[in-house]
């Protein structure tokens, strides 16, 4: 099963475009271990999501114990739900091959986020894993994205759009997606127009202030699918008490249902 097949199957089974980011921060937990926190979150939300997305930085910052917790977290996610390794890797070819091997073969992620700015030879080792998803950074959700991603090339095309066009060109195996922040709805609309069937990973909802309605309207494809609305803190820390798992479930269900309502509205 390819990543896209797995994503669509989970999305349809759970009637969900919601991806919960497992960006677990020990300082915000309720006196439980990292792996126990993640397991409780997964148990509480596994029927409400289309994917999970651990950000590797939160685990790497804890050293070997964090890496072990990451490995156990990926193993704990139900097999039918895809897991996206959010490491934003990007380097020259031989190093990229090692990154791809680590993320896909060692940790077992179904997809990974990758920086395309070193060019095709830095992306190709990821694409070669045909059953895995490769999400190229296109229009990221942070405010500093404008520093480079809005710069116009000699033809008057902004860099983010050039990335989308290259991704479309490179997508011969059908396993490339794009990261486009909900904080830039007009750019999201343009990327979806350029890449009508690519999966789009859409961060920036919640703490970053992205517009959920615009993210859904502009992010989904013609069938109301292939948008992965990624939310982390709003779900993970909906409650910072002992009932954190129940709080996470309430928040995830509210978001899932709100997204579905917006999908139905945009279809009419």
Would you name the residues annotated as active-site residues?
88
Find the angle CA(124)-CA(83)-CA(57) to the nearest 5 degrees: 80
Q: Spell 149-170 as b/e; 16+ CB within 10 A means b.
A: beeeeeeeebbbbbbbebbbeb
Q: How far is CA 217 from the centre of its chain?
A: 18
Dmax over CA atoms of the chain, in Å, equals 56
Rounded CA-CA distance 171/174 in Å is 5
Q: How far is CA 115 from the centre of its chain?
A: 13
């Amino acid at each position: 099963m390819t990543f896209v097949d797995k994503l669509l199957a989970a999305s349809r089974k759970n009637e969900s475009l919601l991806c919960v980011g497992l960006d677990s921060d020990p300082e915000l937990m309720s006196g439980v271990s990292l792996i126990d926190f993640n397991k409780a979150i997964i148990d509480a939300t596994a029927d409400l999501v289309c994917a999970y997305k651990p950000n590797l930085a939160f685990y790497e910052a804890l050293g070997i114990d964090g890496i072990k917790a990451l490995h156990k977290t990926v193993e704990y996610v139900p097999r039918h739900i895809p897991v996206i390794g959010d490491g934003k890797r990007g380097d020259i070819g031989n190093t990229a091959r090692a990154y791809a091997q680590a993320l896909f073969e060692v940790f077992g992620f179904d997809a990974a986020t990758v920086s395309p700015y070193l060019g095709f030879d830095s992306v190709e080792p990821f694409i070669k894993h045909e059953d895995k998803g490769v999400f190229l950074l296109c229009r990221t959700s942070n405010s500093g994205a404008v520093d480079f991603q809005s710069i116009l090339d000699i033809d008057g095309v902004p860099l983010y759009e050039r990335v989308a066009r290259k991704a479309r060109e490179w997508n011969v195996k059908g396993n490339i997606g794009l990261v486009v922040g909900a904080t830039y709805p007009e750019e999201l609309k343009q990327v979806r127009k350029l890449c009508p069937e690519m999966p789009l990973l859409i961060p920036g909802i919640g703490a970053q202030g992205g517009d959920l309605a615009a993210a859904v309207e502009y992010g989904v494809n013609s069938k109301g699918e292939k948008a992965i609305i990624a939310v982390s803190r709003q779900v993970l820390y909906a409650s910072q008490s002992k009932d954190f798992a129940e709080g996470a479930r309430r928040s995830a269900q509210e978001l899932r249902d709100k997204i579905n309502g917006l999908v139905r509205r945009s279809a009419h």
